Amino acid sequence: MSLFVVILYFLFAVAGLGLFGRGLVMMSATQRLDARIARGLTTETLANRRIATVPTFLAARGRDRDEIVQKLQQAGFHGEQAIERFLLLRLVATAVTLVAMLVVSRLAWDGFFAKPLVLFLVPACVYLGSKRALIVTAKARERAITAEFPFLLDILLMMLESGISLDQCFRVIARDEAGTVPHLNRSLVVLVQDLDRGMDYDTALNRWAVRIAVPGAKDLAALFLQGLFQGVELSPALRQFVREFTERRIAVAREAMGKIAVKLVVVMILFFMPALFIVVGGPPVTSLFDTMKAMRR
Protein backbone atom coordinates (compact mmCIF):
# COMPACT_ATOMS: atom_id res chain seq x y z
CA MET A 1 0.00 0.00 0.00
CA SER A 2 1.53 3.29 -1.08
CA LEU A 3 1.98 6.34 1.11
CA PHE A 4 -0.49 8.27 -1.06
CA VAL A 5 -3.27 5.77 -0.37
CA VAL A 6 -2.57 5.84 3.37
CA ILE A 7 -2.77 9.63 3.33
CA LEU A 8 -6.07 9.41 1.45
CA TYR A 9 -7.44 7.04 4.14
CA PHE A 10 -6.46 9.49 6.84
CA LEU A 11 -7.91 12.50 5.02
CA PHE A 12 -11.25 10.82 4.39
CA ALA A 13 -11.48 9.63 8.00
CA VAL A 14 -10.76 13.17 9.20
CA ALA A 15 -13.33 14.49 6.72
CA GLY A 16 -15.96 12.15 8.14
CA LEU A 17 -15.27 13.31 11.69
CA GLY A 18 -15.26 16.90 10.47
CA LEU A 19 -18.70 16.42 8.93
CA PHE A 20 -19.94 15.03 12.22
CA GLY A 21 -18.52 18.01 14.12
CA ARG A 22 -20.13 20.37 11.62
CA GLY A 23 -23.39 18.56 12.20
CA LEU A 24 -23.10 19.14 15.94
CA VAL A 25 -22.53 22.85 15.31
CA MET A 26 -25.57 22.99 13.04
CA MET A 27 -27.60 21.12 15.66
CA SER A 28 -26.65 23.74 18.24
CA ALA A 29 -27.60 26.56 15.85
CA THR A 30 -30.92 24.86 15.11
CA GLN A 31 -31.59 24.53 18.82
CA ARG A 32 -30.98 28.24 19.40
CA LEU A 33 -33.21 29.10 16.44
CA ASP A 34 -35.97 26.84 17.79
CA ALA A 35 -35.75 28.59 21.15
CA ARG A 36 -36.26 31.96 19.46
CA ILE A 37 -39.09 30.76 17.26
CA ALA A 38 -40.78 29.11 20.25
CA ARG A 39 -41.62 32.52 21.66
CA GLY A 40 -44.16 33.08 18.88
CA LEU A 41 -45.46 29.53 18.49
CA THR A 42 -48.11 27.70 20.46
CA THR A 43 -47.46 24.46 22.28
CA GLU A 44 -49.57 22.54 19.77
CA THR A 45 -47.55 23.87 16.85
CA LEU A 46 -44.28 22.87 18.47
CA ALA A 47 -45.64 19.42 19.28
CA ASN A 48 -46.63 18.85 15.67
CA ARG A 49 -43.24 19.94 14.29
CA ARG A 50 -40.94 16.96 13.53
CA ILE A 51 -37.84 16.25 11.51
CA ALA A 52 -37.06 13.18 9.47
CA THR A 53 -36.74 10.28 11.89
CA VAL A 54 -34.22 7.45 11.81
CA PRO A 55 -35.57 4.06 10.64
CA THR A 56 -36.66 1.87 13.53
CA PHE A 57 -34.13 -0.89 12.87
CA LEU A 58 -31.28 1.68 12.98
CA ALA A 59 -32.51 3.63 16.02
CA ALA A 60 -30.75 3.39 19.38
CA ARG A 61 -32.55 1.32 21.99
CA GLY A 62 -32.42 0.60 25.69
CA ARG A 63 -29.29 1.51 27.59
CA ASP A 64 -27.54 2.90 24.51
CA ARG A 65 -30.40 5.33 23.85
CA ASP A 66 -30.48 6.44 27.50
CA GLU A 67 -26.73 7.05 27.46
CA ILE A 68 -26.93 9.09 24.25
CA VAL A 69 -29.79 11.20 25.65
CA GLN A 70 -27.81 11.82 28.84
CA LYS A 71 -24.66 12.81 26.95
CA LEU A 72 -26.64 15.09 24.65
CA GLN A 73 -28.07 16.90 27.67
CA GLN A 74 -24.62 17.17 29.23
CA ALA A 75 -23.29 18.54 25.92
CA GLY A 76 -26.03 21.20 25.90
CA PHE A 77 -28.43 19.69 23.33
CA HIS A 78 -31.95 19.49 24.71
CA GLY A 79 -35.38 18.78 23.32
CA GLU A 80 -37.27 15.74 22.14
CA GLN A 81 -35.68 15.84 18.69
CA ALA A 82 -32.04 16.06 19.85
CA ILE A 83 -31.44 12.31 19.78
CA GLU A 84 -33.16 11.98 16.40
CA ARG A 85 -30.91 14.68 14.95
CA PHE A 86 -27.81 13.04 16.41
CA LEU A 87 -28.67 9.58 15.08
CA LEU A 88 -29.53 11.02 11.67
CA LEU A 89 -26.28 12.99 11.48
CA ARG A 90 -24.31 9.93 12.54
CA LEU A 91 -25.88 7.84 9.78
CA VAL A 92 -25.28 10.58 7.21
CA ALA A 93 -21.62 10.93 8.23
CA THR A 94 -21.17 7.15 8.02
CA ALA A 95 -22.83 6.99 4.59
CA VAL A 96 -20.72 9.87 3.26
CA THR A 97 -17.57 8.18 4.52
CA LEU A 98 -18.59 4.90 2.88
CA VAL A 99 -19.18 6.61 -0.46
CA ALA A 100 -15.83 8.39 -0.17
CA MET A 101 -14.06 5.10 0.54
CA LEU A 102 -15.77 3.50 -2.47
CA VAL A 103 -14.43 6.29 -4.65
CA VAL A 104 -10.93 5.87 -3.18
CA SER A 105 -11.11 2.11 -3.70
CA ARG A 106 -12.11 2.59 -7.32
CA LEU A 107 -9.31 5.08 -7.99
CA ALA A 108 -6.58 3.29 -6.04
CA TRP A 109 -7.31 -0.40 -6.67
CA ASP A 110 -9.46 -0.34 -9.83
CA GLY A 111 -12.50 -1.78 -8.10
CA PHE A 112 -15.18 -0.56 -5.73
CA PHE A 113 -14.91 -3.65 -3.51
CA ALA A 114 -11.23 -4.44 -3.98
CA LYS A 115 -10.54 -3.88 -0.27
CA PRO A 116 -13.75 -4.88 1.59
CA LEU A 117 -12.09 -4.80 5.00
CA VAL A 118 -11.09 -1.15 4.53
CA LEU A 119 -14.60 -0.32 3.31
CA PHE A 120 -15.96 -1.74 6.54
CA LEU A 121 -13.40 -0.41 9.03
CA VAL A 122 -13.29 3.28 8.07
CA PRO A 123 -17.10 3.90 8.15
CA ALA A 124 -17.31 1.82 11.33
CA CYS A 125 -14.70 4.09 12.93
CA VAL A 126 -16.76 7.14 11.94
CA TYR A 127 -19.97 5.54 13.29
CA LEU A 128 -18.39 4.61 16.63
CA GLY A 129 -16.27 7.76 16.79
CA SER A 130 -19.37 9.96 16.61
CA LYS A 131 -20.54 8.71 20.00
CA ARG A 132 -17.04 9.09 21.39
CA ALA A 133 -16.92 12.67 20.09
CA LEU A 134 -20.26 13.33 21.82
CA ILE A 135 -18.87 11.96 25.10
CA VAL A 136 -15.76 14.16 24.79
CA THR A 137 -17.95 17.21 24.08
CA ALA A 138 -20.15 16.44 27.10
CA LYS A 139 -17.13 16.05 29.40
CA ALA A 140 -15.58 19.27 28.12
CA ARG A 141 -18.81 21.20 28.79
CA GLU A 142 -19.15 19.63 32.23
CA ARG A 143 -15.59 20.64 33.11
CA ALA A 144 -16.20 24.19 31.87
CA ILE A 145 -19.44 24.57 33.86
CA THR A 146 -17.90 23.05 36.98
CA ALA A 147 -15.04 25.54 36.70
CA GLU A 148 -17.50 28.46 36.35
CA PHE A 149 -19.78 27.54 39.25
CA PRO A 150 -17.51 28.87 42.06
CA PHE A 151 -17.33 32.27 40.34
CA LEU A 152 -21.10 32.34 39.80
CA LEU A 153 -21.81 31.44 43.43
CA ASP A 154 -19.30 34.01 44.68
CA ILE A 155 -21.09 36.69 42.64
CA LEU A 156 -24.44 35.53 44.04
CA LEU A 157 -23.07 35.65 47.58
CA MET A 158 -21.82 39.21 47.19
CA MET A 159 -25.13 40.35 45.71
CA LEU A 160 -27.28 38.60 48.32
CA GLU A 161 -25.18 39.97 51.18
CA SER A 162 -25.59 43.46 49.74
CA GLY A 163 -29.38 43.13 49.97
CA ILE A 164 -30.33 42.26 46.38
CA SER A 165 -33.10 39.70 45.92
CA LEU A 166 -32.38 36.33 44.31
CA ASP A 167 -34.57 37.10 41.28
CA GLN A 168 -32.72 40.37 40.70
CA CYS A 169 -29.39 38.53 41.06
CA PHE A 170 -30.38 36.21 38.21
CA ARG A 171 -31.29 39.15 36.00
CA VAL A 172 -28.13 41.14 36.73
CA ILE A 173 -25.85 38.15 36.08
CA ALA A 174 -27.72 37.26 32.89
CA ARG A 175 -27.33 40.84 31.66
CA ASP A 176 -23.83 41.78 32.79
CA GLU A 177 -21.72 38.65 33.40
CA ALA A 178 -21.52 37.06 29.95
CA GLY A 179 -17.74 37.28 29.96
CA THR A 180 -17.21 35.96 33.50
CA VAL A 181 -19.36 32.82 33.29
CA PRO A 182 -20.22 32.35 29.58
CA HIS A 183 -21.71 28.84 29.80
CA LEU A 184 -23.80 29.52 32.89
CA ASN A 185 -24.76 32.95 31.61
CA ARG A 186 -26.55 31.44 28.62
CA SER A 187 -28.58 29.17 30.88
CA LEU A 188 -29.44 32.09 33.16
CA VAL A 189 -30.59 34.12 30.15
CA VAL A 190 -33.01 31.31 29.27
CA LEU A 191 -34.09 31.14 32.93
CA VAL A 192 -34.91 34.85 32.96
CA GLN A 193 -36.77 34.52 29.66
CA ASP A 194 -38.85 31.67 31.13
CA LEU A 195 -39.72 33.79 34.15
CA ASP A 196 -40.62 36.77 31.95
CA ARG A 197 -43.01 34.56 29.97
CA GLY A 198 -44.90 33.79 33.17
CA MET A 199 -43.42 30.41 34.06
CA ASP A 200 -43.43 29.65 37.79
CA TYR A 201 -40.14 29.50 39.68
CA ASP A 202 -40.40 25.77 40.38
CA THR A 203 -40.67 24.81 36.70
CA ALA A 204 -38.18 27.43 35.52
CA LEU A 205 -35.48 26.41 38.02
CA ASN A 206 -36.01 22.72 37.30
CA ARG A 207 -35.59 23.45 33.59
CA TRP A 208 -32.45 25.41 34.42
CA ALA A 209 -31.02 22.44 36.36
CA VAL A 210 -31.78 20.09 33.45
CA ARG A 211 -30.06 22.46 31.00
CA ILE A 212 -26.99 22.66 33.25
CA ALA A 213 -26.88 18.83 33.54
CA VAL A 214 -23.98 18.62 36.01
CA PRO A 215 -23.96 16.96 39.46
CA GLY A 216 -25.22 19.38 42.09
CA ALA A 217 -27.33 21.54 39.77
CA LYS A 218 -30.64 20.06 40.96
CA ASP A 219 -29.63 20.48 44.61
CA LEU A 220 -28.73 24.09 43.90
CA ALA A 221 -32.10 24.67 42.18
CA ALA A 222 -33.88 23.17 45.21
CA LEU A 223 -31.89 25.52 47.47
CA PHE A 224 -32.95 28.53 45.38
CA LEU A 225 -36.59 27.44 45.67
CA GLN A 226 -36.28 27.18 49.44
CA GLY A 227 -34.77 30.63 49.57
CA LEU A 228 -37.56 32.07 47.42
CA PHE A 229 -40.56 30.45 49.10
CA GLN A 230 -39.45 29.50 52.61
CA GLY A 231 -37.07 32.32 53.44
CA VAL A 232 -34.09 30.01 54.01
CA GLU A 233 -30.79 31.87 54.39
CA LEU A 234 -28.76 31.09 51.29
CA SER A 235 -25.29 32.32 52.24
CA PRO A 236 -24.07 29.33 54.36
CA ALA A 237 -25.38 26.79 51.85
CA LEU A 238 -23.90 28.71 48.92
CA ARG A 239 -20.50 28.76 50.63
CA GLN A 240 -20.75 25.00 51.00
CA PHE A 241 -21.55 24.68 47.31
CA VAL A 242 -18.56 26.90 46.48
CA ARG A 243 -16.28 24.58 48.45
CA GLU A 244 -17.84 21.51 46.81
CA PHE A 245 -17.41 22.79 43.24
CA THR A 246 -13.89 24.02 44.03
CA GLU A 247 -12.92 20.60 45.38
CA ARG A 248 -14.45 18.97 42.31
CA ARG A 249 -12.42 21.26 40.07
CA ILE A 250 -9.24 20.39 41.99
CA ALA A 251 -10.06 16.69 41.67
CA VAL A 252 -10.42 17.08 37.90
CA ALA A 253 -7.07 18.89 37.77
CA ARG A 254 -5.42 16.10 39.78
CA GLU A 255 -6.93 13.50 37.49
CA ALA A 256 -5.55 15.36 34.47
CA MET A 257 -2.12 15.47 36.12
CA GLY A 258 -2.28 11.72 36.72
CA LYS A 259 -3.11 11.12 33.06
CA ILE A 260 -0.17 13.30 32.01
CA ALA A 261 2.16 11.16 34.15
CA VAL A 262 0.89 7.99 32.44
CA LYS A 263 1.34 9.58 29.01
CA LEU A 264 4.89 10.57 29.92
CA VAL A 265 5.64 6.97 30.90
CA VAL A 266 4.38 5.78 27.50
CA VAL A 267 6.48 8.42 25.74
CA MET A 268 9.53 7.39 27.75
CA ILE A 269 9.02 3.73 26.87
CA LEU A 270 8.63 4.49 23.18
CA PHE A 271 11.47 7.00 22.77
CA PHE A 272 13.84 6.79 25.73
CA MET A 273 14.08 3.05 26.42
CA PRO A 274 15.21 2.03 22.89
CA ALA A 275 18.00 4.60 23.02
CA LEU A 276 18.99 3.38 26.49
CA PHE A 277 19.07 -0.23 25.29
CA ILE A 278 21.30 0.77 22.39
CA VAL A 279 23.70 2.70 24.65
CA VAL A 280 23.84 0.04 27.37
CA GLY A 281 23.62 -3.11 25.23
CA GLY A 282 25.43 -1.90 22.14
CA PRO A 283 29.05 -2.29 23.31
CA PRO A 284 28.62 -5.82 24.77
CA VAL A 285 26.82 -7.01 21.64
CA THR A 286 29.55 -5.50 19.45
CA SER A 287 32.25 -7.17 21.55
CA LEU A 288 30.40 -10.49 21.31
CA PHE A 289 30.26 -10.29 17.52
CA ASP A 290 33.96 -9.37 17.36
CA THR A 291 34.83 -12.36 19.58
CA MET A 292 32.77 -14.72 17.38
CA LYS A 293 34.52 -13.42 14.24
CA ALA A 294 37.95 -13.91 15.87
CA MET A 295 37.05 -17.49 16.83
CA ARG A 296 36.02 -18.28 13.26
CA ARG A 297 39.41 -17.15 12.00
Per-residue tens of pLDDT for the chain, all 297 residues: 565 665 666 677 777 777 777 777 777 777 776 666 555 433 434 334 444 555 565 666 678 778 888 888 888 887 777 888 888 888 888 888 888 888 888 888 777 777 778 788 888 898 888 888 988 888 888 888 888 888 888 888 888 888 888 888 888 888 887 787 888 888 888 888 888 888 888 888 888 888 888 888 888 888 888 888 887 778 788 888 888 888 877 887 788 777 787 778 877 788 877 888 888 888 888 888 888 888 776
Number of H helices, E strands in the chain: 11, 0
Concatenate the DSSP letters of all residues of 249-271 into one string: HHHHHHHHHHHHHHHHHHHIIII
Q: What is the pTM of this model?
A: 0.62
CA–CA separation, 64 vs 238, rounded Å?
A: 36
What is the rounded distance in angstroms from the CA atom of residue 29 to the CA atom of residue 77?
10
Among positive and negative, which fits the CA dihedral 109, 113, 117, 123?
positive
Q: How far apart are CA 78 and CA 76, in angstroms?
A: 6
126's CB contacts (< 8 A; 6+ apart) are 13, 16, 17, 20, 93, 94, 97
The whole-angstrom separation of Cα 244 and Cα 253 is 14
Contact in structure between 181 and 151 (CB atoms under 8 Å): yes
